[in-house]
Amino acid sequence: MADFDRESMLEMFSFEMNQLVDQLEQTIIGSESGFSMEFINEVFRIMHTIKGSAAMMLFDTIATATHAAEDLFYYLREENPEGVDYSELTDYVLACMDFIKDELAKIEQKVPVDGNPAPVVADITGFLQRLKGDETATPAVASAPATAAPSSSTKSSDNPFGKHKYKAKIRFDENAQMENVRAFTIVNNLKDYAMGILHEPEDIITEDSIEAIRKNGFAITFSSDVSYKEMFDILSRSVYIKDIYLEEFTQESFDLDGLHSYFVKMKFDEGALMENVRAYTAVHNIKAYAEYLLHVPEDLVDETNAEVIRKDGLKLDLVTTKGYDELNEMLSQTVYLKELSIEKIKHEISEQEIAPKEMQEVKQEEQKQEVPQETAKPVVAPASTPVPSVPAVQDSQSAMPKKSAAQAVISVNVSKLDQLLKFMGELVIAEAMVTQNPELEGLSLENFNKEARQLKKIINDVQETVMAMRMVSLSNTFFKMNRIVRDMCKALGKEATLEIVGEETEVDKNIMEHIGDPLMHIIRNSLDHGIESPERRRAAGKPEKGNILLEARNVGSEVWVIIEDDGNGLNKDRIMEKAKNNGLLKKPENEYTDKEIFQFIFMPGFSTNEQVTSYSGRGVGMDVVNKNLEFVGGSVVVDSIPSEGSTFILKIPLTLAIIKGMIVHVAGCKYTIPIVSIRDSFRASTDDIFMDPSGNEMITVRGDHYNVVRLNEFFGLQGDVKVIEDGIMMIIENGDDAICLFVDELIGEQAVVRKPIPKYIKQIRGISGCTLLGNGDISLIIDVAGFFDK
Amino acid sequence: MSNIVENDVLMESGNSTDSTKNMYLAFVIEDEQFAVDVGHIKEIIGVEPITLVPRTEDYIKGIFNLRGDIVPAIDVRSRFRKPEIPYNQLTCIVVVFYQDYILGLIVDSILGVYIIEEDMISSPPNAKLSYSNQFVKNIGKADDGIKLLLDLEKLIFDI
């Protein structure tokens, strides 16, 4: 495995695993009350995929844990037992998920993946045993991971090969990448269902085979007890498959093509030695005549298999045009041969195709010395297709509508989207530079202007689409909270439902990443501090089951995420007391408004909980809320009514990259002020201005006092406008603070693409970035928070 | 001036490759001739409109728009604590990239591209007599005189 590009494989692995785990977790929590058959199948399938991938990447701990869970769901699927405690079952499955998540985190952090799956496995197998104990009548078959069909009496006892012989050709999507790994996964998955798997190219460990697989597809021959339809399903489960051609060898096709199917068993003399090499020679000799050839053991190069052959012999599953006698003669020539048995096999065709007449033929099966009269028959139709081989594309569409629906969505690297956005911004500017080119001035350009408008319209449409592409719905993040509520309720002995509203609201991908954590902390806080125990709720005349509302809605250019609980509310006095003890008060106690007091809970290390529980009390959580929101330019507002509940409102900008800005003129430079921060703008007169004792200018607007900041002085520019009457006053707010900003003139409102200031220039207070205007000029974007820093 | 290479070479200059080995772009600051490895040069442009960025060092003249990329402009005269002069017809911005930094160096004028073989490059004297000397990494001898090879790393990271 060392030859692989393990880094990128790991990345892909953890990406796929995380997706599967998330998907699984959501489905499980959604159906804690009872599992439908469809659901059990889905869990089984996901578990199986996780197990296969983990085993392939040599993460045994994950494979072991999922294997146990897979067994359990296999049992549920096959036996459909009654009276299962689904809540308990959910606990075990979630524990298993958590274990996998921990291990995945270790993989991502590149630390040894060393978790101990034993407790998880013990829980699950224990549960399984109990289930089985209840249902004594059912045979214990659950330990086998395969969908083993009922064992067939029509084949001889030591024939290891399956009833059906298959030949499959799989082609992968053009952009699948690492086809050899994909192929390896398929082979690995098949091992549970099939025997004697042979594939072409033979070497899928090294990357050399990628090219061959891309060109010719990946061909596999194997035998299995699984029916054609099931086998097709099994193969289709793999990802990135473009099409599958699966062909089953049936008696009918044998008859048509004049083929015979044999089961051969060979043993070598005791003193022969190197049985694997002898077996290899025998196989090699016969290969040329075989239409289809499988052998057990599969690997004849590996010397350890010499021992296996010595003991159990070499077994061949063979389809050839040669008659029995011919074959016997050919194989007898093998040196050191001790035993040779050849069985002629008649094949059932897939169950659904079995006609009564053919059923009789099956009985002839074990006639070992059947006269090889068919050898004389010419090969009738070599090109004819064996019976049930449906072109894969059609089949996959009809059999699995889910899969084709999933293909309507592709995953794109975020960096590509970022790049697209960057180009989009440039396109907008380039368009303005062309259509507003100074050289066009004074010309009468009726047609040009018409086409220019059309161009602008198209560019606007493209821009909207580009922005829309970056938007992701909050539903994933929201539904993850279900798990937190469930776990915490169980642990704290509380009862609460999570009501989710407006989860389809979308925000920019970059912002999305920063709101998962704040949400989690606020919900934990609500459950731990807000929602009371059922007894206390009953005493207070509230319904025993608490309610947490998680709502998202669009408000202007912001998205508000509202978390509302009907718990006890925030304890204002306790918060105040704690703030006093921590020396956080900056003005007299009685001057603090409720909102200001509640804001204290977002200070680092602030917790009114005397006891540190496993969920809260360390004072870390709410601090994260503030930090993350500040990072995306959002804010949080808290409100609370004692004994009725608390409301947290997270105000999040829709997008980081494109903002609506007001372009203003100051000392010959253009600055952009985010529209969201502008409360008001007006023309003031010198008389409105008064000085505070330290000489700072102040102004009173509608009864509120504001500090006046002259932007040109703040930035140390040579301002053109010194007289208050000539300029414009703008009230700029940041959270609850506001100042009055004095600028030379307003130019206009425009949507601008925010670009960072080149990193060679160190961070400048008051400036958050820059943007390109339509004429190619650069405008600096004002960082409103910069005016409020102490 | 026999070894001056046509400026066309610059059009395809990426990182130091064999085709640009030992090639240096020379420019003038006051009365000294400096040179930068061609492998670090993105392009040479005339003086663009530069947007002033407040609260920065004097030698950072601001930022300009290079086909959608925002590039800081550094007045090399000012950086070397030499008296500034008004920009004129000869003034150029040499856009250099170093690691993942891109900067525009405002220089008095461009001399051209020179090939300076490795054996013609020597270390500068230890004594740093003028302020600008500390940005000189090596001294190269070209046919028409000495070129001071600029230490881009020091220019970028020393504040």
pLDDT score, position A619: 54
Helices (H), A400-474: 401-406, 414-435, 446-470
Nearest Cβ partner for B55 among A760, A764, A776: A764
Put simply, the answer to whether B65 touches A759 (Cβ < 8 Å) is no
Nearest CA in chain A to B51: A778
Q: Is the pLDDT of residue A694 over 60?
A: yes
Q: Check B54 against A757: CB less than 8 A apart.
A: no
Q: Using alpha carbons, select from A770, A761, A668, A772 the residue that is nearest to residue A721.
A: A668
pLDDT in tens, A589-632: 777 888 778 888 887 777 666 555 555 555 556 777 887 887 77
Residue A134 near chain B (CB below 8 Å) = no
Please give the angle made by the CA atoms of A316, A321 and A323, to the nearest 5 degrees. 80
What does residue A220 show for φ and ψ, rounded to 5 degrees?
A: -130, 135
| pLDDT score, position A32 | 67
Return the structure tokens found at A117: 């799956």
Q: Distance between CA A66 and CA A77 in Å, rounded?
A: 16
Please state, in angstroms and rounded to a whole number, the distance separating the CA atoms of residues A187 and A199.
8
Q: Give mean pLDDT, residues A76-100.
A: 79
Window from A97-106, A361-370, A557-566, B42-51 with minimum mean pLDDT: A361-370
| The token pair that represents A508 in the structure block | 């920019």
Contact B141, B63 (CB under 8 A): no
Instruction: Decide if A380 contacts A220 (C-beta within 8 A).
Output: no
* Residue A656: predicted pLDDT: 62
Q: Is pLDDT above 90 for B53?
A: yes
Per-chain mean pLDDT for chain A: 75
pLDDT of A597 reads 84
pLDDT at B63: 95
Closest Cα in chain B, distance from residue A439 (Å): 18
The yes-or-no verdict on residue B51 having pLDDT over 90 is: yes
Report the percent of chain A where pLDDT is more than 90: 6
Q: How far apart are CA B114 and CA B7, in angstroms?
A: 10
Identity of the highest mean pLDDT range in A251-260, A574-583, B145-154 = B145-154
- pLDDT tens track for A383-394: 333 433 334 333
Most confident of A210-219, A558-567, A752-761: A558-567
How far apart are alpha carbons A586 and A580 in whole angstroms?
A: 10
Separation CA A302–CA B2 (nearest Å): 69
Distances A722 to A627, A667, A701, A718 between C-alpha atoms, Å: 38, 10, 20, 10
Mean of pLDDT values over A489-508: 86
Buried b (16+ CB within 10 A) or exposed e, A575-592: bbebbeeeeeeeeeeeeb
DSSP A768-783: EEEEE-TTS-EEEEE-
pLDDT attached to residue B128: 67
Min Cα–Cα distance to chain B from A666, Å: 12
Phi, psi of A282 (to 5 degrees): -60, -45
Measured in angstroms, the CA of A712 and the nearest CA of chain B are apart by 9
For chain B, percent of residues with pLDDT exceeding 70:
86
CA distance A716 to chain B (A): 7
pLDDT in tens, A34-58: 677 777 777 887 887 888 778 777 7
Neighbouring residues of A248: CB distance < 8 A, sequence distance ≥ 6:
A164, A165, A166, A167, A228, A231, A349, A350, A386, A387, A388, A389
Task: Please tell me whether residue A340 adopts helix, strand or coil conformation.
Answer: strand
Q: Is A668 helix (H, G, I), strand (E, B) or coil?
A: coil
Instruction: Place A557 in a pLDDT band, splitting at 50, 70 and 90.
Output: low
Task: Output the pTM of the full model.
Answer: 0.46
CA closest to A779 among chain B residues: B51
Q: What is the mean pLDDT of residues B16-23?
A: 71
CA distance A426 to A439: 21
- pLDDT at res. A392: 38
Give B-chain residues touching A755 at CB under 8 angstroms.
70
Q: Do B51 and A776 touch (CB under 8 A)?
A: no
Higher pLDDT pick, A102 / A347: A102
pLDDT of A346-378, one tens digit each?
654 444 443 444 444 444 444 444 444 444 344
Residue type at position A504: E
Q: Is A684 helix (H, G, I), strand (E, B) or coil?
A: coil
**Per-residue confidence at A454, pLDDT binned at 50, 70, 90?**
very high
Spell B56-91 as b/e; 16+ CB within 10 A means b: beebbbbbbbbebbbbbbbbbbbbbebeeeebeeeb
Residue of higher predicted confidence among A120 and B96:
B96
Residue with the two structure tokens 């013609």: B120
* 3-state SS, residue A436: coil
Mean pLDDT of A417-431: 81
Pairing of strands B41-46, B69-75: unpaired
Which residues 502-531 of A are in CB contact (within 8 Å) with B?
none
CB atoms A780 and B51 under 8 Å: yes
Q: How far is B63 from chain A, CA to nearest CA, in Å?
A: 8
Do A767 and A783 form a contact (C-beta atoms < 8 A)?
yes
**Does residue B10 carry a pLDDT above 90?**
no
Any bridge partners for residue A674, and if so which? A661
Please answer whether residues A104 and A66 qualify as being in contact, where contact means their C-beta atoms are separated by less than 8 angstroms.
no
For residue A778, give the chain B residue with the closest CA: B51
Whether pLDDT at A149 is above 50: no
Residue A139's pLDDT is 40
Q: What does each C-alpha distance from A5 to A1, A55, A245, B30 come to in angstroms? A: 9, 17, 29, 53
Nearest to A221, CA basis, from A184, A189, A190: A190
- Per-range mean pLDDT, top range of A86-100, A303-317, A664-678, A753-767: A664-678
Cα A89 to Cα A29: distance, rounded to the nearest angstrom: 11
Give helix then strand counts, H and E, for chain B. Answer: 2, 12
Contact A760 B70 (CB under 8 A): no
Residue among A568, A529, A571, A526 nearest A548 (CA): A526
Chain A interface test: which of B67, B70, B103 (most A C-beta within 10 Å): B70
Across A440-454, A763-777, B29-43, the highest mean pLDDT is recorded for: B29-43
CA distance A789 to A772: 27
- Mean pLDDT, rounded, for A674-691: 88
Q: For position A377, what pLDDT does the model report? A: 40
Mean pLDDT of A758-787: 84
pLDDT, tens digit, 9 for 90 and up, residues A5-23: 566 677 777 777 887 888 7
Report CA torsion sign: A299, A301, A307, A311: positive
Residue A718 at interface with chain B, using a CB cutoff of 8 Å: no
Residue of A670, A715, A752, A760 to mutate, testing the B interface (most B Cβ within 10 Å of its Cβ): A760
Closest CB from A758, A765, A772 relative to B55 = A765
Interface test with B, best of A778, A779, A782 (most B CBs within 10 A): A778
**Binary contact (B54, A715; C-beta < 8 A):** yes
User: B68-92, pLDDT tens digit by residue?
Assistant: 789 999 999 999 889 999 999 999 9
Cα separation, B100 vs B15, whole angstroms: 13
Q: Which residues of B touch A772 (CB under 8 A)?
A: 65, 68, 70
Higher pLDDT, A21 or A84: A21
Q: In whole angstroms, give the CA distance from residue B75 to residue B64.
A: 13
Residue A28 burial (CB < 10 Å; 0-12/13-18/19+)?
buried
The reported pLDDT for the residue numbered A379 is 38
Query: Is residue A400 over pLDDT 60?
Result: no
Q: Which residue did the predictor score with more confidence, B82 or A118?
A: B82
Residues of A in contact with B53 (CB under 8 A): 757, 761, 764, 767, 780
Write the ipTM: 0.84
- Token pair 């993850």 is found at A480
Q: Please tell me the least confidently modeled range out of A180-189, A286-295, A484-493.
A: A286-295
Q: Give the C-alpha separation, A121 to A129, whole Å.
A: 12
Confidence of residue B23 (pLDDT cuts 50, 70, 90): very high
Shortest CA gap B148–chain A (Å) = 24
